[in-house]
Structure 1
Amino acid sequence: MNTPPQKCVLIVGNDQTCEMRSVLESVREICRGAQIVSCASLEAIPDEEAFPDLILICQNWPDEFGPRTLSDLVSRFPISRFVCCYGVWCEADGRTRTIWPLGIRVPARCVSTRLKLEWEIIRGGRAAFPLTAGRDEIFQLEATDGSLRFDTEGGAPLIQVESGDRTYRKMLEERIVSWEGRIANTMNDEAIDLLMIDLDPWEMIVNQLETRTLVAPIVGVMGLAHPETITAAKLLGIEAVICKVAPEQELFQALNRSLQVKAIPQAEC
């Protein structure tokens, strides 16, 4: 009986920083039994290295890797799967740099869900998607099997979604409906249970929030969720800010948590 070859994960970059240690822990847990090879740079990858099933790039700061890094890796390992885990200081790269396709960029804090998806693909349990896949395609691919449901009493929650990106708004609304929520067609703070706002572009949205009287709890979504921006958003009354490339579960949990808090009777003074 032939023994299947051992799976291999190649990690490129510094996986010992505070942000990346959790990534390494996720790899060890999800890719259990696989050979894990860590190399600080492309030059450090051994010439005799066999084809890894998954190549995980740990990007801790912008311009850490050159513009040909991905093409060099693909040329050498054309059948490998790729994921670029980036730290908080690299969140603007999706707009200001194009080294890594959006479809493979994952925030380090959200890597667990993506690793599970990639490992399922590698093990043959799911169809693969190309390097050119967009964020909306990845969001749909990471969608769950429909087991997520809002845990609220008194019927399906009414949620208002605001976004200047019509396609993105429609995608969010479809997710909310799949979680057994209802979509508000008109803005009425007194009627809705929760307001979900696309915070991009922040410079424009922040001015609107400063002059707006809000009754319902708010959850924001943002492409570049820097810590200082998240702090500023919370000072304006936004309960949670979720990165747009975060897994579906993280977005669901933020909405569900806000709905549950809203349902708690407020003590009378």
Structure 2
Amino acid sequence: MAQKFCCSNLGCKYHQKGNLCGTTAEIGSGGKCRSFEKGLTYYVGLVWAALENKNFIDAMELNADLKIGLYCVMTVYHLGFSTMEWGTCRMYALRAGEDGPMLKTSDIIALPMDEAAVARIVQELEDGHLADMAANRPQPEKGSQPYGWLSPTGTFTEGDFGEHDATARKIIRKNGFWEEFRRWRSDRQSTCRDFLSEVKGYCLIHNPSGGGGYIVAYVKPLTKKQRDFLYGYFMEIGDWFKAEQYVGTET
């Protein structure tokens, strides 16, 4: 005869109100439950733990489960995402809006939660889609890409490390922007690099430290062609997490 028992494992998808189990639990010889399956609370709990005392997640902390947790939290709270890099160090942050502050756990749980989104996530977990996504995602070979300038039309101009302003000058001359640049510069202390970013909407892929890694710097909103280029740029080196930041519909 089946016996009722209490289960306080909130991370299990079978956990029910009142510490009840929603399935037939199988307990192994070591006392461990073999029926445990990761639920929404499990994945979200990983994010809460990672952001409990800080407002960023170090790239070294990321694993498949934490990535699913970030997806869940971003979906149900409608949060934005940003990346910070310095040399080979990379950190990830959640934000309430594109220009909002970096959020800690206490900041996020104070925000309104989309109950309809919660229901969708629970169903995706129930159907196994999220776990399959993490397990089956293709992993291209790691490689490297050149630094340089990317125009609003998606044209990339390579520029070696430390040569970004010189490359910007060449772009300005080649595209007939020189006189416009001189007029623009006449009443300010600015460079060719500033002109391309602030006036012409170029973005720069670079790394000031020269120690590896990639930083995408821009002033004007990225165009769809720039986002499409950046998506492919990072996918080619196997950095799908960064590539997916540039999936968008901007024009």
TM-score, with structure 1 as normaliser: 0.25
More strand per residue: 1 or 2?
1
TM-score by length of 2: 0.27
